[in-house]
Structure 1
Amino acid sequence: MSTGHDQEALAAALVAKGVLTSDWLPAFHRAPRHHFVPDTIWPGRAGMNRQDDRVIRSEDPELWWNAVHTDAPITTQWDDGAHTGPGRGGTPTSSSSMPTMVFAMLDALTVDDDHRVLEIGTGTGWNAALLSHRVGPENVVTIEVDPATADAARKRIRAVGLHPLCVVGDGAAGYPEAGPYDRVVATCSVGEVPAAWIRQTRPGGIIVAPWGPTYGGEGVVRLVVQQDGGTASGRFVGSSAFMRLRDQRIVRRHVREYLGGQKWPGDGVRSMTSVSPDDVGEWLAMFAIGLQTRGVHPWAEMYGDGTYTLWLRDLAVSSWATVDYVPEREEFEVYQSGARRLWDEVVVAHLHWHGLGRPGWERFGLTVDVATGGHVVWLDSPDQPLSPIG
């Protein structure tokens, strides 16, 4: 097992991708990733791996080391620490983010050496350590809701000689005691930007956070707090896939609650569609659909032979829809039930996005108003808001 060579190889790969720039390279070397990854990990795609993919450093040090020095996310906790595996199922609740994403978000943050920074979601502590080296630990506040995660991260950060203020608390509330801040960065996703983040950021300051609608799809938004101190607006800068801020997690009810004790398809109304479930499952497409459908979330029931059923459900537990996917077919069977026709809504939103020319992340933006709690997503400019269907 090598050490410095792997660290340099990862640095070279990130530099080649254009995400690790010269102003962040000293921080990368001062706070290498391997100091901030726990001994038990689940390498792969965050949210897409399994508990029985567990790697323990003492049992397979080479595999652990290679995972740490790969440009990929690493799950570090399941179900808020309730399970450590092995075993299928469960929900990833903490991770070491993909290095490309880490440095892309730090680049979007555009910090200066004397900026005061609030980080929401300490996680493993790596991001806080990088920021501490760049702007000085006295200028960094990092907050983590999980006490055990926070304690472990604090020890890792101090082990490399850095001492930012590490707080155990609800990230949605920020940390006004040490504000105001020039920059706020979240390492967890939100569907609503907490008002506290805007109130605790100086006018002209920047908030960088992963933001996504209920339906799915998610991008990093870069908001600039306006001079009134009560609004923030800015563009999305790219795709992301982060774990949700704990108090904004979406509670998804089981399909049996929608069927009301009946067997599928129950009272569902049958129809056929030429729009494939695959067409609405791509990450950017899901984002675009989610901007215009409110309170709708998908779930794919996979059958292992290339076929699957796409379930759509609303948060009100009033409506559901299914679409059966069969490879190489041109039409797909649909059932819909309830006050809303969820598949019809998804199709309308998808076709609307196509009609706009399938705009990418960089054309979308978000404006947040603290006074009203309003979140308005727009295309190209704030005077072109996207309206929800229905």
Structure 2
Amino acid sequence: MTDDTQLRARLADRVAESGHLRTQAWREAVEAVPRHEFLRDGFFERVDGLGPTGWQPVMPDDAEWLDRVYEDESLVTQIAGTVVPRDICGAIMRAPTSSSTMPSLVVRMLEKLRVEDGDRVLEVGTGTGYSTALLCHRLGDDRVTSVEVDPEVAGRARAALGGCGWTPELVVGDGLAGHRAGAPYDRVIATCGALTVPQAWIDQTRPGGTVLATVCGWLYASELARLTVHGDGTASGRLLGEQVSFMLARPQLPPPFGLLPDLGGGEERRTVLGADALTEDWNTRFVAQLAAPRAQRFTMTQGGRAEHILIDVESGAWAALCETDGRWTVRQGGPEPIWDAVEEHVGRWRAEGAPGLERFVITVTPEGQTITWPARSRGR
């Protein structure tokens, strides 16, 4: 076997051992698709000591490049919306905007998509094209449509796919709008996060078809949801209890904070729910996010103590939480008491026994999206 064939087989073994690769068809896809062909332009690695967004390029002529490509890890391929590895000599301290998702997560989602022979699939978020290639190998490239918002990213994916012999339909555009010209699809899969599952994805999926998407918010707690589309234009399903994390679809990125409101004002009270609940427990943060889906969170220091800020830039609602001697207080301002909504929602969920997220039901209708949990049954 050639070196990369051995590396593909080793990657398949690792993903299978982790429990995410369960069927022979997807194993054959992992063993057949050369991931390195989709990373010929290099990738970025995190640079220790430069903060959370320090990155430096790793290029194909680097000794460790090929082995790193076949590790089960996500590899950043674009920084700040335009910067690719060949553009940098040294390091850059900006936020990643595109990546090649870790293979085990890609395969886990493809397994949960439950495709069948002959299915037509719409993929939202082409990225490097690696997951698109896996779909092409499994179904045939004439059954795969993929949408990518970034023209340069799409161009690189098209070249890599073509170089490997695959020619799926690749579309440059807003993936949240799907691709109506190719509808109806049997399956829709999104490899980017979405605040809400777009109605367009539902409308473009045949009744009985499946939409697999990561639903999230600006508190960055996200969950994988699998929905079945119904004949009346609605869809419903469950969260899968999968703490997956993808970059948000670019049209849904949070707005900049801009000029902050006067955080010294507002009304102050004790709160039974502290800001630590949003950092220490994923499920609690997800439930809180349902109550304040447009809120963003950051921490600042004033007077020598940390304040945990929640702010909805669009509405102007905000809350500032502080801990003193183990007790939390909250100050709130704006048109609505945002922490009251979070505290009530989390309190009600806990009163119902804090059911796991895999029990939550998601429903999408033309009027919007709802996510609820089952009420705890009570004896007579």
Q: How high is the TM-score relative to the length of structure 2?
A: 0.86
Secondary structure of the structure 1 residue equivalent to 2:158: helix
Instruction: Tell me, in whole angstroms, the C-alpha distance in 1 between the residues paired with 2:261 and 2:92.
Output: 28
Change (3 A) 1:12 1:308: farther
Deviation at 1:3, TM superposition (A): 4.3
- Counterpart position of 2:195: 191
Secondary structure of the structure 1 residue equivalent to 2:81: helix
Deviation at 1:114, TM superposition (A): 0.7
Deviation at 1:58, TM superposition (A): 4.7
Give CA-to-partner distance per residue, 1:257-286, whole Å, 9 cap, x none.
Answer: 322xxxxx4324344445332222233221
Change (3 A) 1:291 1:179: same
Give CA-to-partner distance per residue, 1:275-323, whole Å, 9 cap, x none.
Answer: 33222223322111112235322223489x9x84321001334222222
- Counterpart position of 1:378: 372
Deviation at 1:148, TM superposition (A): 0.4
Deviates more, 1:186-195 or 1:245-254: 245-254
Deviation at 1:70, TM superposition (A): 2.7
Instruction: Tell me, in whole angstroms, the C-alpha distance in 2 between the residues paired with 1:280 and 1:36.
Output: 37
Q: Structure 1 residue 343 and structure 2 residue 339: aligned?
A: yes
Change (3 A) 1:40 1:341: same
Instruction: Tell me, in whole angstroms, the C-alpha distance in 2 between the residues paired with 1:104 and 1:11.
Output: 12
Question: What pairs with 1:325-340 in structure 2 (closer than 5 Å)?
Answer: 329-340=325-336
Instruction: Tell me, in whole angstroms, the C-alpha distance in 2 between the residues paired with 1:54 and 1:236.
Output: 36
Kindly provide the amino acid, as one letter, of the partner of residue 314 in structure 1. Answer: D
Instruction: Tell me, in whole angstroms, the C-alpha distance in 1 between the residues paired with 2:299 and 2:63.
Output: 35
Deviation at 1:243, TM superposition (A): 1.2
Change (3 A) 1:49 1:11: farther
Say what the alpha-carbon RMSD is for the aligned residues. 2.8
Secondary structure of the structure 1 residue equivalent to 2:25: coil
2:40, 2:60 within 8 Å by CA — same for their partners in 1?
A: no
Question: What pairs with 1:242-253 in structure 2 (closer than 5 Å)?
Answer: 242-253=246-257
Kindly provide the amino acid, as one letter, of the partner of residue 356 in structure 1. Answer: E
Give the counterpart of 1:87 among 85, 92, 96: 92
- Counterpart position of 1:28: 30
Q: Structure 1 residue 258 and structure 2 residue 261: aligned?
A: yes
Deviation at 1:31, TM superposition (A): 0.9
Change (3 A) 1:58 1:201: closer
1:42, 1:50 within 8 Å by CA — same for their partners in 2?
A: no
- Counterpart position of 1:236: 239
Give the counterpart of 2:107 among 100, 103, 107: 103
2:183, 2:204 within 8 Å by CA — same for their partners in 1?
A: yes
Instruction: Tell me, in whole angstroms, the C-alpha distance in 2 between the residues paired with 1:29 and 1:49.
Output: 36
- Counterpart position of 1:179: 183
Change (3 A) 1:341 1:129: same
Give the counterpart of 1:139 among 139, 143, 148: 143
2:145, 2:171 within 8 Å by CA — same for their partners in 1?
A: yes
Secondary structure of the structure 1 residue equivalent to 2:343: helix
Q: Structure 1 residue 13 and structure 2 residue 14: aligned?
A: yes
Q: Structure 1 residue 221 and structure 2 residue 225: aligned?
A: yes
Give CA-to-partner distance per residue, 1:189-236, whole Å, 9 cap, x none.
Answer: 1112222211111111111111123443111111111122x1111111
Which ranges of structure 2 fall in alignment gaps of 5 or more residues? Answer: none
Q: How high is the TM-score relative to the length of structure 1?
A: 0.84
- Counterpart position of 1:353: 349
- Counterpart position of 1:287: 286
Deviation at 1:16, TM superposition (A): 1.2
1:146, 1:168 within 8 Å by CA — same for their partners in 2?
A: yes
Secondary structure of the structure 2 residue equivalent to 1:189: strand
Percentage identity across aligned positions?
34
Deviation at 1:186, TM superposition (A): 0.8
Instruction: Tell me, in whole angstroms, the C-alpha distance in 1 between the residues paired with 2:154 and 2:96.
Output: 17
**Corresponding residue pairs, total:** 364
Deviation at 1:138, TM superposition (A): 0.7
Kindly provide the amino acid, as one letter, of the partner of residue 32 in structure 1. Answer: P
Deviation at 1:59, TM superposition (A): 6.3
Which ranges of structure 1 fall in alignment gaps of 5 or more residues? Answer: 260-264, 385-390
Kindly provide the amino acid, as one letter, of the partner of residue 251 in structure 1. Answer: P
Give the counterpart of 2:162 among 155, 158, 161: 158
1:172, 1:197 within 8 Å by CA — same for their partners in 2?
A: yes
Instruction: Tell me, in whole angstroms, the C-alpha distance in 1 between the residues paired with 2:122 and 2:159.
Output: 19
Secondary structure of the structure 1 residue equivalent to 2:202: helix
Instruction: Tell me, in whole angstroms, the C-alpha distance in 2 between the residues paired with 1:338 and 1:271.
Output: 15
Deviates more, 1:294-303 or 1:19-28: 294-303
Kindly provide the amino acid, as one letter, of the partner of residue 226 in structure 2. Answer: R
Change (3 A) 1:130 1:252: same
Change (3 A) 1:5 1:310: farther
Secondary structure of the structure 2 residue equivalent to 1:284: helix
Deviation at 1:100, TM superposition (A): 2.1
Instruction: Tell me, in whole angstroms, the C-alpha distance in 2 between the residues paired with 1:316 and 1:153.
Output: 35
Secondary structure of the structure 2 residue equivalent to 1:188: strand
Give the counterpart of 2:312 among 307, 311, 314: 314
2:80, 2:95 within 8 Å by CA — same for their partners in 1?
A: yes
